[in-house]
Structure formats: C-alpha cells, structure tokens
C-alpha cells in the first residue's frame, strides 16, 4: 500500500493516529500521530516503535504498543515494507466508563462478600455429599462452583484493567524456566480438557530458556489465549503453543485452525470494553481477555500481535524481552490464588464443564 505524498492530506483531520511507512521508514504522521510520536519520528525506521510482527506485510494485523507509558491498539495494513498503521488509545473505552468505576467497585465488593458465603456453603455441601456418598450433590455443587469462579474471573479482569499502574520491584519477580512453565501449562490444560489432550501441543526450539518476570502473570496471559482458542476451534481442530528465542526476545505463539475473527472484532481486540459482542454466541465472554493478555505483555516490556482470518484460524504472537529489567510495571491488584490448580480453573472456567470442579478432579 503506497500513496503519493500529496494524498496523505486526507488523513490529517482523522481522530485516530495514522502512520505511513515506505520501505521501512516513517514518511507521514497525521496530527494525532504527531501528538504521540513527535514530528522527529519522520524518517525514522518504523521498527523503532512497532514490533516486527506488525510490519511483516502478511495481512491486516492487530497489535499494541506502549509509548511513554500509554498503551495504544494498532491496526496494521502493510504490503512488503510499505503501508499504513492506525492507532487508538487502548483506554478510550475506559475513559467513557470511568464514572461507573466507583459504583462498580462497590457492587463488586458486595458480590465478593456474597460469593464468599456461597463458597463456604459449597464446601459444607461437599462434606455432606461425601458423608452421604451422594454423587448428585457433588455434581450440583460443581456446577455452582464453575459459575462462581467464572464471575470472580470477570471481576478480577475488570479490576486489573481499571486500576492504576504501580511499580513492582525485582523482589516480586523471579527467574524461571519458560520451557518448563509452558510444558506444564499444556499438560495441566490437557488434563482439565481431556477432549483436547492429544490436540493441544507445545513446541520449543530450545531445551531450557531462563526468563525474569512474574511467572503467575505469564501463566494467566497464556491461559487467556488458550481459552480463546478452545472456544472458537471445533473438536477436530488443533492448538499449538510455540516457544522460541529471537535475538534478545522470547517469542510465544498460540496458533489454532479455528473459526478466526471477524474484521470488526479484530480491529477492537485490545480496546477495553469496546470489543463487539454477539449476544447470541454462548462462547462470548465479557470482552476483556485479550486486553488483559496485552496488559501482561506490556508490563513485561513486550508486545502482542494477532493475525486472524475468518474460517482460517488465529495466530497470537507475544514477544517479551529476555534481558532483565530493573523494575516491572504492574497493576496494584495482582490476583492471588489458593494453589496452582485454582489459577487454571479460573482462567479456563469459560471452556470447562462442571466435572472439572468435582473434588476428585482437583485432588
């Protein structure tokens, strides 16, 4: 995609930031883009600001970048090393809903209190079922627990996206083996989703890969992406998690051959509370999962890009810097889980049936 220089004026007054790239260099910024990048960005290699995956020229791509602490959703339309990129603030939807946050937090506080009572009641019912050897009671309790866990996950996602960013010191991160984390994640997901055990695979180009970050947040991000793939891939499909190292970056890819994403969904995939929802689609969630995944990638200094075609599947690529950072930025309400299985049950709740919540399944 290439325009004569005189044709760029049509983008000058657009509210979205528009960046034109020719042969890998930024050649045009409209007024909204100049407010983000500054006019000095003209003539600079686009790769200084955008991840390589967004500049690959394969198709219409959705991604995100962080500039001066502000997150932006990006739609890329490239052909070779030339094309256009459109940016919108990832918090546009959030700004319009700020007035409701205080009320939402009050409501969520009440809901959490009531869910705690429900959880205590379910524990007592499970003990009663065990004493009476009544499997029916256990099944009914498992159904209730699935709903409670799903509601709690929705509220946790809302909290993560609505709270301000704080600084997390190195002591709150850790060194861990990314290969082991991904391998165990796929193994546990296959255990909870037996229909997918043979069709959800993990590939790695290296035997070990040491990474410095928050392992629980990385797991949460990957489980979010896997959950989306399971929702929109039929029982004959495949899902692959791939790990590789590219220069100083760790690259994680979740690929499926499922239904793919509609263009209107792809264009707002990372815009909080803005992703269109088909209320007739029982698989649709609250529309915050991809924004949460993007946030977790961003606080590790990374990026996330989605390539998707309707009917041909989806590929999500996460690139994280492998080098140690002195501090990480995270939101102040990291979710604490009772154990490792609780994290999996929470993040996969939308695609698990009630049997995964039976006491014997968790033991």
pLDDT band at residue 346 under the 50/70/90 scheme: confident
pLDDT at 2 over 70: no
Percent of the chain beyond pLDDT 70? 80
Query: Model's pTM, two decimal places?
Result: 0.75
Q: Where are the domains of the chain?
A: 5-89, 92-162, 168-347
pLDDT at 241 over 70: yes
Residue 339's CB is within 10 A of a number of other CB atoms, namely 9
Three-class SS of residue 240? strand
- State the chain's mean pLDDT as an integer: 80
Fold agreement (5-89, 168-347) = no
Residue range 168-347 in CATH 1.20.1270.10: no
Q: Give one DSSP letter per residue of 290-336, joined into a string.
A: HHHHHHHHHHTT-EEEEEEETTTEEEEEEEEE-S--SEEEEES-PPP
What would the pLDDT profile of 4-35 be if each residue is shown by its tens digit? 555 677 788 888 899 999 989 999 999 999 99
CATH hierarchy code of domain 5-89:
3.30.450.20
The predicted model gives 149-167 an average pLDDT of 71
pLDDT of residue 149: 83
Alpha helices in 135-271 (DSSP H): 135-162, 178-192, 215-231, 263-267
Q: Is pLDDT larger for residue 329 or for residue 15?
A: 15
pLDDT band at residue 102 under the 50/70/90 scheme: low
pLDDT of residue 286: 57
């Amino acid at each position: 995609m290439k325009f004569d220089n005189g044709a760029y004026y049509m983008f000058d007054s657009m509210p979205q930031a528009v960046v034109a790239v020719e042969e890998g260099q930024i050649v045009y910024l409209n007024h909204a883009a100049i407010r983000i990048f500054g006019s000095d960005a003209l003539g600079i290699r686009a790769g200084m600001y955008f991840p390589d995956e967004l500049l690959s020229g394969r198709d219409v791509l959705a991604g995100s970048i962080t500039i001066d602490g502000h997150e932006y959703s990006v739609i890329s339309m490239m052909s070779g090393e030339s094309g256009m990129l459109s940016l919108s603030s990832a918090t546009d939807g959030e700004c319009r809903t700020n007035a409701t946050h205080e009320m939402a937090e009050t409501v969520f506080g009440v809901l959490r209190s009531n869910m705690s009572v429900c959880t205590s009641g379910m524990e007592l019912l499970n003990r009663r079922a065990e004493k009476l050897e009544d499997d029916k009671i256990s099944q009914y309790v498992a159904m209730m627990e699935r709903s409670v866990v799903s509601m709690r996950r929705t509220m946790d996602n809302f909290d993560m996206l609505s709270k301000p960013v704080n600084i997390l010191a190195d002591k709150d991160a850790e060194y861990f083996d990314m290969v082991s984390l991904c391998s165990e994640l796929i193994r546990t997901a296959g255990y909870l989703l037996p229909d997918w055990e043979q069709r959800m695979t993990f590939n790695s180009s290296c035997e070990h890969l040491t990474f410095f970050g928050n392992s629980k947040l990385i797991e949460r991000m990957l489980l979010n992406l896997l959950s989306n793939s399971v929702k929109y891939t039929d029982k004959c499909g495949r899902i692959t998690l791939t790990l590789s190292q590219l220069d100083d970056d760790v690259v994680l890819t979740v690929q499926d051959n499922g239904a793919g994403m509609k263009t209107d969904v792809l264009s707002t995939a990372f815009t909080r509370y803005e992703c269109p929802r088909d209320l007739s689609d029982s698989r649709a969630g609250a529309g915050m999962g991809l924004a949460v995944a993007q946030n977790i990638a961003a606080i590790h200094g990374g990026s996330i890009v989605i390539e998707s075609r309707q009917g041909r599947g989806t590929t999500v690529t996460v690139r994280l810097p492998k080098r140690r950072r002195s501090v990480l930025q995270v939101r102040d309400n990291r979710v604490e889980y009772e154990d490792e299985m609780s994290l999996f049950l929470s993040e996969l709740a939308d695609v698990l049936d009630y049997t995964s919540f039976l006491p014997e399944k968790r033991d």
